Structure 1
């Protein structure tokens, strides 16, 4: 078996430099990284991960707990997180909890501190106190994309301004002349998406719309649930000319329901979502939405977890990453003239 020392001799560097290339390549000159990696390929070197973990007192693995891998938002998030972890010399272990708190607890009990040195927790039914108990055992725990952010937390959280995202949607639809607004607000393990709804409603009020212009229904984060919710709204309020869904999947379901009920999007009905998953621009008509800084949040979450794994202390409780932004596509248009 090829040893690290043999790689060092072939690359004409020290063993410590080889270790840095494998663990923290960003700290090594690019030309040195290239020389070491060439020696690794030539010799067929494979690091002994178990031995490395024992020597360092921690693994080279981070765990990411998410609620439903079938939701296309999560694979997109995982891709960004995995790239950041790999860039820093770590592996990412993805754990799908299937919206089940018992599965979440089982993962935490089995991997935290043993298979993984740090854990990034997305939406979960577990309370922060229970997660803080895991952290008290010396495991780096970072909350990510939690919507209901408090002023002070027991654990650091990387998130975005969900109220601002809702406000952007309201300003866009109001600016197009709409006066009757349907809202489908979703929820999952992280609870109902009320912060997005609150931001939307507050912005409508600021633009002079009364509560009577707002028709709200709750659904689950899925195309099917969005379809059912939108169909109910459109049947109950046939004069409604716009729908805002707090999740892109539900917005796509709303467009399908509109088509089945004989309404043209966007001529008769404007529909918009929130998140900007890849499907939003692939669907027809392409979905107007509010883009969340998904890749930035994923990268910052990984970086923060690794800072903690390596002995750092978070500088703040809540990290609010770059603001959401409006992405206008084909599914919204000026309100029909009969409403103006």
Structure 2
């Protein structure tokens, strides 16, 4: 006869120690324990040590939702990105997380897949409740939605804004991507390349427009007509770069170099070149922009223009903290001009994917 096994009774849940219990154990007031945890107020070293020993002895851990309710602010920051599948965004997210650790805050990553409706839903559900503020990285969000988020008490900072001389009217950290495009194109021109194709990883007036403007500026400075350079607007992915490069090289087999506005399309372009029988860099030079980790790991390693990813993340976190602190003051940020922080200039990183034009 088959019997049903008897399960042991569930273990009784042990109650977590409270702040009040820590205070009694240390012989101090709950306010003193709170000051020690937040590193605020004047607490003598002996008292501080006694509180820390009590916390360790009892295994006390702060209850983050309760703290947020008591302090009137959420313990997290939201980072909204267009596609977590793009390696640049996890690298930026890691830099943001490192910058947040010193304040005891946590990071929530919101992947919009470039869909403004998804982004709006994130803003409505997270900003100001789960997150004290929002960092936005190319998430295809409507600026009116971002301004409404600010009015609701959750400051917003745009990260990696690509046009420092054209501020968006929202607080932002800007990087001179026009200069990045200029540096990439100038490198190819200085190597003797004149038949250069361009792959832009956005629509004509999309987020990579400033990078292409830099390409045009470099061409014109060298006395070359940028209109003669074959151009394709592609999806900002490895696959997009592959398809665009394959089309360019098939239609224009005399090209000796490809300028791409991002590293992923550049890596795809090198794959397409190999499939079509072009040897990189002997027959075809390829240059990208941003310097993601994969750029140095590809074979050949990709020549690219590095942007200050870590610095931009740190500036974004610092600016958002400043805005969060000011949001609770009378009047908040209303009526103030949106602050723009400009990160360090991009710089060229020469690797194995570019070489002087073959004679």
Q: If the length of structure 1 is used for normalisation, what is the TM-score? A: 0.89
CA spacing shift, 1:41–1:251, aligned 2, 3 Å: farther
SS across alignment from 2:282:
coil
How many angstroms does 1:303 deviate by?
1.4
User: Which piece of structure 1 moves more, 212-221 or 276-285?
Assistant: 212-221
Aligned with 1:121: secondary structure? strand
Structure 2 distance, partners of 1:171, 1:13, is 66
Deviation for aligned residue 1:143: 1.1
Q: 1:163 to 1:15 in 2, by over 3 A?
A: farther
2:282 & 2:93 partners in 1: Cα distance? 36
Secondary structure of 1:311 counterpart? helix
Counterpart position of 1:100? 115
C-alpha displacement of 1:34: 9.7
Contact 2:163 2:177 in 1 (8 A): no
Larger Rg: 2
Structure-to-structure mapping, 1:245-284, within 5 angstroms: 245-284=260-299
Structure 2 Cα separation of the partners of residues 13 and 178 of structure 1: 74
SS in structure 1 opposite 2:321?
helix
- The number of residues matched between the two structures is 335
Shift of 1:120: 0.9
From 303, 307, 319, the equivalent of 2:341 is 319
Aligned to 1:209: 224
1:63 to 2:85 alignment: no
Q: RMSD of the TM alignment (CA)? A: 3.0
Match of 2:193 among 147, 165, 178: 178
Note the residue ranges of structure 2 that are not aligned, 5 or more in a row: 1-15, 328-332
Query: Helix, strand or coil for the counterpart of 1:145?
Result: strand
Shift of 1:43: 3.1
Equivalents in 2 of 1:222, 1:249: separation in Å? 5
Give the deviation of 1:11 after TM superposition. 8.3
Q: CA deviation at 1:8?
A: 6.7
- Give the alignment partner of residue 294 of structure 1, picking from 286, 293, 309: 309
Change (3 A) 1:211 1:315: closer
Q: Is the 8 A contact 1:187 1:219 kept in 2?
A: yes
What is the alpha-carbon distance in structure 2 between the residues aligned to residue 20 and residue 315 of structure 1?
35
- Distance in 1 (CA, whole Å) between partners of 2:50 and 2:96 is 27
Is residue 153–residue 317 contact of structure 1 (8 Å, CA) maintained in 2? no
Work out whether residues 242 and 271 of structure 1, in 8 Å CA contact, stay in contact via their aligned partners in 2: yes
Within-5 A mapping of 1:1-340: 1-4=16-19, 19=34, 22-23=37-38, 40-148=55-163, 151-187=166-202, 191-311=206-326, 317-337=339-359
Please give the alpha-carbon distance, in whole angstroms, between the structure 1 residues aligned to 2:197 and 2:27.
Answer: 67
TM-score calculated relative to the size of structure 2: 0.84
